[in-house]
Amino acid sequence: MNQSQTLMQYYPIGLIVICLIISVFASYIALDLPRLLLASRGKARRYWFMGGSLALGFGLWALHVIGTMAYRREGGAADYYLTALLSSLGVAILVAFACIGLSARREMSAAQMVRNGLLLGLGVCGTHAAGALALDQARIAYSPTLVCVAAVLTILVCVSMQILASRFRSPVSPLSRLVKAACSIAMGTIIAAVQYVGMIALRLSPLASVSTDEFEPNIYFWLAIGVAGWSILVLGIVMLCANFADRRIAQQVALNGSLIEAASDCIVVIDASGRIMEFNPAAERIFGHRREAAVGRFMPELLFTTLLGDSYREAIARYVRDPGDNPFGERTETTGMRADGTMFPLELTVTRIRKADPPILVAFMRDITERRRAEAALRESEERYRKLVHYSPDPVIVHLNGMILFVNSAAAVTLGAKEPEELMGRFLADFIHPDDREIAEIGLNTPPNRLSESGPAELRCYKLSGELIDLEVKSIFVKWNGRGVMQTIARDVTAKKQAAQTIRQMAYYDRLTGLPNRNLFLELVHGHLRQCAEGGAEAAVMFIDLDRFKTINDTLGHHVGDELLKAFSGVLASSMRKGDILSRIAGDEFLVLVPSTTESEASDIARTILSHANTPFMIEGHSLIVTPSIGISMFPKDSEEAEELIKYADAAMYRTKELGKNGYSFYDSNVRTISSREMQLEQGLHKALEQDEFLLHYQPRFDLHSGRMAGVEALVRWHSPEYGMVSPAEFIPLAEESGLIVPIGELILRKACEQNRRWIDAGYPPVRMAVNLSLVQFRQAHLVDRIEQVLRETGLPGELLELEITESVASQNERAVAERLQAVKARGITVSIDDFGTGYSSLSYLRQYPLDVLKIDRSFIRNLPHSSDDTAIVQAIIAMAHSLHLSVCAEGVETKEQLDFLREHGCSEVQGYYLSKPKAAEEIETILGTTIASRIESAS
């Protein structure tokens, strides 16, 4: 035999397989033991730590012993130093103890895992070294390269095992067992391979004085088999115990988890320092913290205020030091703090888990907000019901067989007694109206078992003074001083019945005029029409609406409008015949039923109404003339139904308005067509706005001082593909009523500014663009911002824009109008009053508002210079405007005489058909820069 042989030449395959099995078992225990230690408490934790560490250390030692004891050579076997061999066992067990103790920590960083793996690897290397030194009668030679490779591989394997062990700390599942078994096989195979790499690194040469007759050559082989058997047995027992413990732990974890998850109360598990270990769904719901964010934080700081948190932190520390002293008591009511910082009442119970080492505390918490409210409500209810009878605002009377035994203060007051004692001993029948005593007897004598079935009864009762009142009473059976009596709860409903009468009055009569309203009118009409049908008579329904009533309301105020309606309703009543029915149905709309009449008689009544209405009404110093528009439908000619007759009369009234107002019209088949067109036009306005069917024409204005063209007024036109060119007089009122005037007005403003900007860019002389603003537009809160936005987007300077407002706008809230006009003026925009002289408002706004131009209405220009009244009015307006430093523009100039008169009396600007009709933008471009003289010459 060679003097130096490697040990690998003498290993039988059986021992290699046994070493592999031990490696796999030891790997499984090394991966599983930290999880078992973390899941165990008290003695079980100590048992697992001691037993598992011993088993793991014995397995590590066995790997090396099996290899060295299997060494055989010809002529005998090597001897061993048993002391050194046993010392290597101690080293292996100490290494296992240290490694398991460090791996069982709850929190481990990557650096700690690498440190533990390095310690375990060095320990394993030390175990191999100690085992090799135990060989006797052999000279050991080392291969430095292979020794280093074996040591590095051992350390890497141990570090990997630490990392894997930290990954298997979660609760056991079938998948985790399968993965853990696979990892154990892989790690065991690698450890066995590293073992034999280490053995390859050793070369042994026998000593010369070796004696080979003391032992049989294969005695150490069988000793290795014995060590292997014991190792497998010990490791197997540990694995079986671990499997059994896994099941118990899994059951306990599942039970605890289900109990904690399903608990309706907050359950927070904390360690000895107060750090949260578990936070159940109820705690998440009540406190508003997610479990992931709560676990690991200190409970006193997270769930309580700073002051309470400091106190509870000290209490937890005291409870941990002395389990017999629970500073929280059996149950503590305190104040919790939610994640959003809100406080709420909380019930807190803290208990310590027995046999838990280190100590673990469980805090049971319950939100008692609703309980506090219920307790407060109960206390309040008890107090309220205690005082109910005595202090009840409703009268309470206790009686037996009709005799009064007790009354509260409210009952005494209701029946007119100064003190309750005045009523005691008297009989209820004495206070009840004779006609209601029969009803009262039924209530008083109702058997107790049927009292709940009977509802409240209304009785007329007398007070001690003899005054008659209405009471609503309800009797119940109660115990009073140990005997069954009747308790009657009464309520004075006198005011209620009066209110019901008032409500009926309001439901059937107009509050302002006292006339029947639509509801009563319809009830009366049905009866009268039925009588007319039975007698073969005709009847007329008149629908009356006041012309321009909205203007009066807007200019003079609703209080003036109300007084005017009352005065006009008196005129209508004086025009009716006896038996006619007059009703106000809404606003300025009236309905009249004239039964048993003919068309001729209905016409006479309508003319009487028109004649009486033409008389001026003096309302708060204002002389007001209103004209009615009347529509008439006939029964049974037009319809036999009251609702249809009202609808047809309404349609006829609109026909009257279209024909010039201040008149009357009978319903015929054409009325429906006219009314239908109005509805169609209103619907068409929406489409026109969407499809941009509106276009602008421009009427020039000329400066009488310079003779030059000073500006243009933008006038909207609607060119409808369906209706053709629709007049502004027809669609503007519809737009104002529907609210579409706001988007239409903004569209007109934008188009006018864009057109003026194009003229400037084309090199034409700059002129002012005048745009009309309606009352509805002026009331818009963002009007000034919209105007500024249009100027900014179109690039038109504010100095080249003029806004025309009517007197109805100027008569609104003076402060609001002034502020809005100031904002407009601040942007350089000119402000003018259109149609001046046609309104109802005071002239005081001329000096209060920042105005620039007065536009005299065409009605005053029409008869110049032949009408002395009109010439006086125009001269007065011009003089007044000059005194207020305002320019004057005359509208509707149609003759040279009118032009000369206006120039002679100092009018600033003029516009009208004499100088130019409204034209399209392309036609305006041909006259931009012209003068009055050239326009007169072209007109002639």
- CATH code at position 726: 3.20.20.450
Q: Mean pLDDT for the chain? A: 78
- Cβ partners under 8 Å of residue 738, min gap 6: 682, 685
pLDDT at 351: 84
* Average pLDDT over every residue of 428-456: 71
**Do 862 and 833 fall into the same domain?**
yes
* Average pLDDT over every residue of 562-569: 91
Lowest mean pLDDT of 453-462, 593-602, 809-818, name the range.
809-818
Number of C-beta neighbours around residue 157 at 10 A = 19
- Peptide bond before residue 358 is cis, with ω within 30 degrees of 0: yes
3-state secondary structure of 514: coil
pLDDT at 665: 92
Boundary of a domain, candidates 367, 393, 414: 367
* Average pLDDT over every residue of 795-820: 80
Number of C-beta neighbours around residue 37 at 10 A = 22
**Do 777 and 883 fall into the same domain?**
yes
Report the candidate in 759, 609, 741 with the shortest Cα–Cα distance to residue 685: 741
Beta bridge partners of 29: none
Report the candidate in 21, 17, 22, 135 with the shortest Cα–Cα distance to residue 69: 135
Q: How is the beta sheet containing 360-367 ordered, strand by strand? A: 276-279, 266-271, 360-367, 343-352, 332-337
Number of C-beta neighbours around residue 560 at 10 A = 19
pLDDT at 605: 92
Does residue 267 lie in a domain region? yes
**Which of 69-73, 577-581, 766-770 tops mean pLDDT?**
766-770
Bridge-based pairing of strands 663-666 and 628-635 is parallel
**Do 402 and 475 fall into the same domain?**
yes
- Comparison of pLDDT for 773 and 160, the residue scoring more: 773
What does the block give as tokens for 429? 């029948």
* Average pLDDT over every residue of 348-355: 78
- Comparison of pLDDT for 62 and 637, the residue scoring more: 637
**Do 768 and 898 fall into the same domain?**
yes
**Do 886 and 773 fall into the same domain?**
yes
What one-character DSSP code corresponds to residue 799?
G
**Do 106 and 225 fall into the same domain?**
yes
Does residue 816 lie in a domain region? yes
**Do 363 and 379 fall into the same domain?**
no
Distance, in Å, from the CA atom of 738 to the CA atom of 682, rounded to the nearest integer, reads 8
**Which of 172-176, 321-325, 685-689 tops mean pLDDT?**
685-689
pLDDT at 803: 92
Number of domains in the chain: 5
Question: Is the separation of the CB atoms in 382 and 374 below 8 Å?
Answer: no
Is the pLDDT at 6 greater than 60? The verdict is: no
- Cβ partners under 8 Å of residue 515, min gap 6: 509, 569, 573, 582, 583, 584, 590
* Average pLDDT over every residue of 712-725: 89
What one-character DSSP code corresponds to residue 298?
B
Question: Is the separation of the CB atoms in 476 and 455 below 8 Å?
Answer: no
Does residue 240 lie in a domain region? yes
Distance, in Å, from the CA atom of 391 to the CA atom of 868, rounded to the nearest integer, reads 82
pLDDT digits (tens, 9 = 90+) for 84-117: 566 666 766 777 676 666 666 655 666 766 776 6
Bridge-based pairing of strands 768-772 and 801-805 is parallel
Please state, in angstroms and as integers, the Cα–Cα distance from residue 705 to each residue in 311, 500, 864, 931, following that order. Answer: 93, 72, 20, 11
pLDDT at 775: 77
What percent of the chain clears pLDDT 70, i.e. is strictly above it? Answer: 67
**Do 323 and 446 fall into the same domain?**
no
Q: How far is CA 419 from the centre of its chain?
A: 56
Bridge-based pairing of strands 694-703 and 663-666 is unpaired
HEC sequence for 505-569: HHHHECCCCCCECHHHHHHHHHHHHHHHHHHCCCEEEEEEEECCHHHHHHHHCHHHHHHHHHHHH
What does the block give as tokens for 259? 């109990």
**Do 754 and 857 fall into the same domain?**
yes
**Do 696 and 810 fall into the same domain?**
yes
pLDDT at 727: 82
pLDDT at 789: 92
Under the banding of pLDDT at 50, 70 and 90, the label for residue 181 is: low
Angle 740-742-744 (CA atoms, 0-180°, nearest 5)?
A: 70
Per-residue DSSP letters for 64-108? HHHHHHT--BTTB--EE-HHHHHHHHHHHHHHHHHHHHHHT-SS-
pLDDT digits (tens, 9 = 90+) for 282-304: 888 888 898 888 888 888 888 88
Does residue 71 lie in a domain region? yes
**Do 843 and 708 fall into the same domain?**
yes
Boundary of a domain, candidates 444, 467, 498: 498
Does residue 849 lie in a domain region? yes
Question: What DSSP element (H or E) covers 55?
Answer: helix 42-69
What does the block give as tokens for 78? 């090597």
**Which is it for the CA torsion 117, 119, 122, 126, positive or negative?**
negative
Per-residue DSSP letters for 398-436? EEETTEEEEE-HHHHHHTT-SSGGGTTT-BGGGGB-GGG
Number of C-beta neighbours around residue 20 at 10 A = 18
**Do 153 and 68 fall into the same domain?**
yes
Does residue 84 lie in a domain region? yes
pLDDT at 670: 65
Number of C-beta neighbours around residue 29 at 10 A = 23
* Average pLDDT over every residue of 892-914: 92
Does residue 121 lie in a domain region? yes
Model confidence, pTM: 0.39
Phi/psi at 208 (nearest 5 deg)? Answer: -70, -30
Boundary of a domain, candidates 367, 391, 415: 367
Q: What is the CA radius of gyration of the chain?
A: 55
Is the pLDDT at 217 greater than 60? The verdict is: no
What one-character DSSP code corresponds to residue 764?
P
- Comparison of pLDDT for 527 and 162, the residue scoring more: 527
* Average pLDDT over every residue of 778-797: 88
pLDDT at 31: 62
Number of C-beta neighbours around residue 323 at 10 A = 10
What does the block give as tokens for 73? 């050579």
Please state, in angstroms and as integers, the Cα–Cα distance from residue 783 to each residue in 754, 773, 777, following that order. Answer: 18, 10, 7
pLDDT at 829: 92
- Comparison of pLDDT for 874 and 385, the residue scoring more: 874
Q: H helices of 814-895, where?
A: 814-825, 845-848, 858-861, 868-883
Under the banding of pLDDT at 50, 70 and 90, the label for residue 77 is: very low
What percent of the chain clears pLDDT 90, i.e. is strictly above it? Answer: 18
pLDDT digits (tens, 9 = 90+) for 511-530: 888 899 888 898 889 889 99
Distance, in Å, from the CA atom of 841 to the CA atom of 6, rounded to the nearest integer, reads 126
Is the pLDDT at 211 greater than 50? The verdict is: no
Does residue 683 lie in a domain region? no
Per-residue DSSP letters for 256-267? HHHHHHH-SSEE
Question: Is the separation of the CB atoms in 199 and 140 below 8 Å?
Answer: no
**Residue numbers of the domain that contains 832:** 690-939
Beta bridge partners of 486: 399, 477
**Which of 153-162, 312-321, 790-799, 848-857 tops mean pLDDT?**
790-799
Under the banding of pLDDT at 50, 70 and 90, the label for residue 215 is: very low
- CATH code at position 458: 3.30.450.20
In single-letter form, the type of residue at position 849 comes to Y
